Amino acid sequence: MPDAGSAINLPLALMVVFGSAKLLAEVCERLKQPAIIGEILAGVIIGPSVLGWIAPNETLHVLAELGVMFLLFQVGLEIKASELRQVGGPALVAATAGVILPFVLGWGIMAWDGAPRVESLFVGAAMVATSVGITAKVLAEKRLLNARASKVILAAAVIDDVLGLLILAVVSSVARGKINPVELGLTAVAAIGFTWLMAWWGTPAMGRVMPRLDASLRQSESQFNLAMIFLFAMALLATYAGVAAIVGAFLAGMALSETVERRVHDLVHGVTDLLVPFFLAGIGLNLDVGAFASRATIVLSLVILVAAIVSKFVGCGLGALSLGVTDAVRVGCGMVPRGEVGMVVAQIGLGMGVVPKDVYAVVVFMALATTLVAPPLLSWSFRGLKPAVAKSAIL
């Protein structure tokens, strides 16, 4: 198929990606499997590795970025900041343990395999950050966002992102040959400060500002328009602060959760339903089966995958043990997926010339496989827990 970004082929590409994602999601649901698995597998099947109908391109990448941004914004709308702060202690411990153990294991495995120091550090860094979008999607589908373990997972994922950013900054500095303590310190202060400020003061501020702005506007859907402006503004500020745009989107939703009307939730739900399949299918599109022609690469991929799953499960689970064994297991399972986050770290290393293509393929495989493994793990760990009465038809 020609470039999907061209004027003629854009609608066709969008139809193929969205249609195949929803078709396989339906198949998975009929097989009593999470729909998210079908949407990711759709990307693998229509992508370069199997049928070759669609290749990753800038248009699909932008739609995927918007998809995960709206997903985290919608999740934030269902969570009260006060409830998330209540689990801040266990979340901090779980996130810290869930960063240290994966990093050490990833670095150690690559060093044991004979990889150069910087390459080993990048693989360790790629194993650190959790892709909260995957877990949030599964928990939202099951209407379990208000469970205690779910709140710990979401809070830990935000902390995880900040810690992962700092590790990536240090590793990138090592790759460039010099570490600037002042620069790293400023990055840490900006990232932590932005997250703390929004988590503690975002809701009260929006509670005062949003009603006044809404009352002064005459356009229809003015609350939704204001919410969209706030979403993009917070995503932008998060990027400038050094954390992921999706963290800003989540914090924006949480700040508005006690202010906006149900109509805004419904409109955001519609936009999210449209865009999220591009995010999930986009994960599958990035799989390159041809990179696994070598037996050594296959073995290394499997070892890294097992280490990625076990390190997050054990690290985050032990960190959340104060909540009880059951919730600790749920937190461990919820923090397993790496998704696009691990691939971004590996892409940076590839661009700097310190991560070879075969190791990049190993990290992509790890990110995809942990993403596919997460939904069944979450279904198993949250079994028997009754879903909350839905306030809206979220996801």
| CATH code of the domain covering residue 138 | 1.20.1530.20
100, part of any domain? yes
Q: What average pLDDT does range 312-338 have in this prediction?
A: 88
Give the single-character DSSP code of 355.
S
> What is the dihedral sign for C-alpha 126, 339, 360, 365?
positive
| Inter-residue contact 267 to 70 (CB < 8 Å) | no
245, part of any domain? yes
41, part of any domain? no
The answer to whether residue 232 scores a pLDDT higher than 90 is yes
157, part of any domain? yes
Q: What average pLDDT does range 141-159 have in this prediction?
A: 81
pLDDT score for 390: 41
Go through the chain and tell me how many residues it has. Answer: 395
- Classified as helix, coil or strand, 108 is helix
Alpha helices in the chain (DSSP H): 10-30, 35-46, 58-77, 81-86, 88-112, 117-126, 132-141, 148-176, 181-216, 222-241, 245-256, 262-285, 295-319, 325-334, 339-351, 357-381
Q: What average pLDDT does range 78-104 have in this prediction?
A: 81
| Inter-residue contact 308 to 370 (CB < 8 Å) | yes
Max intra-chain CA distance, the chain: 65
C-alpha to C-alpha distance for 270 and 278, rounded to whole angstroms: 14
320, part of any domain? yes
83, part of any domain? yes
Nearest 5 degrees, angle CA 336-CA 66-CA 332? 10
pLDDT tens for each residue of 161-219: 777 767 777 777 777 666 667 766 776 777 777 777 777 787 788 878 777 777 777 77
- Total domain count, the chain: 1
Q: Residue 199's closest CA among 243, 165, 166, 167?
A: 243
pLDDT score for 309: 92
Identify the domain containing residue 232 by its residue range: 65-275+302-381
Q: Which residue type, as a one-letter code, is found at position 315?
A: G
Q: Specify which of 166-180, 244-258, 284-298, 316-330 reaches the highest per-range mean pLDDT.
A: 316-330
295, part of any domain? no
pLDDT score for 164: 75
The answer to whether residue 2 scores a pLDDT higher than 60 is no
pLDDT score for 389: 44
290, part of any domain? no
Q: What average pLDDT does range 251-264 have in this prediction?
A: 84
Q: How far is CA 130 from CA 76, 138, 339, in A?
A: 17, 14, 8
C-alpha to C-alpha distance for 155 and 92, rounded to whole angstroms: 8
Q: How far is CA 172 from CA 112, 179, 358, in A?
A: 21, 9, 20
Q: End-to-end CA distance of the chain, in Å?
A: 31
pLDDT score for 184: 66
Lowest mean pLDDT segment, chosen from 113-127, 194-208, 273-287: 194-208
Q: Specify which of 82-96, 227-241, 282-296 reaches the highest per-range mean pLDDT.
A: 227-241
Q: What average pLDDT does range 146-156 have in this prediction?
A: 84
The answer to whether residue 105 scores a pLDDT higher than 80 is yes
